[in-house]
């Protein structure tokens, strides 16, 4: 499955976040962040180790299988060459003499193998050149234009050569590379020495006001250990969970997803950020020990990424299969702002209870008695208001009105900002011409709901009682402002998780970045078994 890309970090800080610490410096890793040479390093390591292992005589306790992607990520990625050689050889039960830094590439020593790898890397670069992440370069230049100092910290002794070959020699105001590290006897990653030294050279005195951008879990762990205010991981594919568990605050697929405003907002919002639920899983698992579960899930922004149009938010097969396994293990329910038929069709699992229209249309699985429509008498008013709004929206490009039987969504994500007030006025007029309706807040959507004391939180509690789940630990995962009542409803006796790109005030105790991370958490919940079960 193609993992979802994180959306661009562009949202401005809210609720006084501008008074929080301001970003002063950024330290970039080189390979895999600024230059797309990580695959070249990977190829050089594999070529060198595979030849070494194939030629080495068999010995008891030694593993001579070819070098793998997992080996690269676990043992050598981001580390100084000699540290990578030692770590990989130890994982295979192989011991070699240390040797000296000037050992020739053919020497059967740690330093000799490190030299051999370096020769292969330089030969590959000579043949293929240096590819650059232009988004990362643009981000570095934007940071400097905004008054943020920018430096580079790399384990590579070839950093200067690569920057010159890429035409980026003047991009960074300070550089700490493998040559500097050797001269100063700095420890390699996962020790924080090279990042701290680079920050010192940039004049940073408070590392809480500095960020690090890394693509290796060892580098993320180093930045975390150094006390930097923000650690951004770059996942080029398959390394997301390693980066998260190493301590990355945010993960992107490339530099084009980074903006100065987003970075500033993340630094400013650290105090109100909630612990990531994947990183905090041992804590959550401890809390769940001995308890049965009942799980409630929002749909848009939680199980699927937010899409430009509602019909484009389609559940992928991998997540649907995880949902099936979860629902077989524990009672699982959907609480969504979508209409009932819509959400049932998209989820495609008949065994789930669904609370649609923000909880105003609760429907049991086929063959199960029950259900609740707490504002059934207002259905004609909803249809009347939706009809009026469709006439207005027809004249506004990008506007979309959804009549969801017990609520209305007026989407303006694709509407020119200058025309959004027209929609707001139309919504207010539609409410004023009727009775018993109110306007509520959502992400890029104007919502109309029945004006009664009901919300997703009350729907959640009703479902717990109606399905006989009292005494179970309720878990709710959602992303929107309309999910806050449900997050508050589980705050005392359950687990609330907010799916969010930037920290914001919330009743949730934990956070996740996107639906990919939601899927990983659901896999863990599906595997959860209380003691005695």
Contact yes or no for 292/472 (Cβ under 8 A):
yes
CA distance 412 to 444: 6
Write the DSSP symbol of residue 273. P
Neighbours of 519 (CB within 10 A): 20
Helix boundaries (H) for 56-184: 69-71, 81-91, 110-128, 134-145, 159-166, 178-184
Contact yes or no for 467/331 (Cβ under 8 A):
yes
| Residue 421 main-chain phi, psi, to 5 deg | -55, -30
CA distance 453 to 281: 35
* Residue 455: closest CA among 472, 471, 442, 474: 442
Among 29, 298, 479, 480, which one carries the catalytic annotation?
298
CA distance 5 to 366: 35
Active site residue 451: no
Contact yes or no for 243/223 (Cβ under 8 A):
no
Three-state SS annotation for 46-75: HHHHHHHHHHCCCCCCCCCCCCCHHHHHHH
- What number of H helices and E strands is found in the chain? 19, 17
H or E element, residue 355: strand 353-356
Distances (CA, A) of 437 to 148, 337, 427, 450: 48, 16, 11, 5
Residue carrying structure tokens 């937010």:
306
Which residues have a catalytic role annotated? 298
């Amino acid at each position: 499955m193609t993992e979802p890309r994180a959306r661009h970090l562009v949202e401005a800080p809210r609720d006084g976040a501008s008074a929080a610490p301001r970003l002063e410096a950024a330290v970039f890793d080189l390979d895999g962040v600024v230059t797309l040479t990580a695959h070249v390093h990977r190829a050089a390591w594999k070529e060198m180790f595979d030849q070494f292992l194939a030629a080495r005589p068999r010995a008891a306790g030694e593993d001579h299988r070819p070098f793998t992607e997992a080996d690269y990520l676990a043992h050598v990625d981001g580390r100084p060459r000699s540290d990578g050689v030692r770590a990989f050889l130890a994982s295979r039960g192989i011991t070699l003499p240390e040797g000296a830094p000037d050992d020739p590439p053919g020497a059967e020593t740690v330093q000799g193998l490190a030299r051999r790898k370096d020769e292969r890397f330089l030969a590959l670069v000579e043949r293929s050149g240096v590819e650059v992440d232009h988004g990362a370069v643009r981000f570095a230049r934007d940071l400097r234009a905004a008054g943020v100092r920018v430096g580079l910290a790399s384990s590579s002794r070839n950093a200067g050569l690569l920057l010159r070959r890429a035409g980026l020699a003047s991009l960074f105001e300070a550089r700490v590379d493998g040559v500097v590290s050797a001269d100063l006897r700095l420890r390699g990653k996962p020790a924080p020495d090279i990042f701290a030294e680079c920050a010192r050279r940039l004049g940073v005195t408070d590392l809480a006001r500095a960020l690090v951008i890394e693509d290796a879990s060892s580098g993320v762990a180093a930045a975390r250990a150094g006390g930097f205010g923000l650690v951004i991981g770059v996942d080029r594919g398959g390394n997301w969970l390693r980066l998260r568990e190493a301590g990355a605050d945010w993960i992107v697929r490339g530099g084009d997803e980074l903006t100065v405003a987003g970075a500033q907002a993340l630094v400013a919002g650290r105090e109100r950020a909630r612990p990531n639920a994947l990183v905090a899983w041992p804590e959550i698992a401890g809390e769940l020990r001995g308890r049965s579960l009942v799980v409630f899930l929002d749909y848009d922004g939680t199980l699927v990424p937010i899409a430009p149009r509602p019909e484009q938010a389609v559940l992928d097969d991998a997540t649907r299969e995880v949902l099936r396994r979860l629902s077989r293990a524990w009672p699982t329910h959907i609480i969504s702002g979508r209409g009932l038929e819509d959400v049932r069709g998209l989820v495609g699992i008949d065994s789930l209870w669904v609370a649609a229209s923000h909880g105003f249309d609760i429907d049991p699985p086929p063959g199960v008695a029950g259900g609740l429509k707490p504002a059934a008498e207002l259905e004609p008013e909803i249809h009347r208001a939706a009809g009026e709004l469709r006439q207005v929206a027809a004249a506004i490009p990008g506007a979309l009105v959804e009549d969801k039987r017990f609520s209305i969504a007026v989407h303006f994500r694709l509407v020119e900002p200058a025309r959004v007030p027209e929609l707001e006025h139309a919504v207010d007029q539609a409410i004023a011409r009727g009775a018993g309706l109110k306007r509520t807040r959502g992400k890029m959507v104007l919502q109309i709901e029945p004006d009664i004391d009901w919300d997703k939180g009350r729907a959640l509690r009703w479902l717990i009682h109606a399905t006989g789940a009292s005494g179970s630990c309720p878990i709710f995962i959602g992303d929107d402002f309309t999910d806050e009542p449900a997050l508050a409803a589980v705050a005392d006796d359950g687990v609330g998780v907010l799916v969010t790109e930037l920290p914001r005030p919330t009743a949730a105790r934990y956070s996740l970045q996107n639906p990919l991370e939601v899927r990983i958490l659901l896999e863990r919940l599906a595997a959860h078994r209380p003691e005695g079960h």
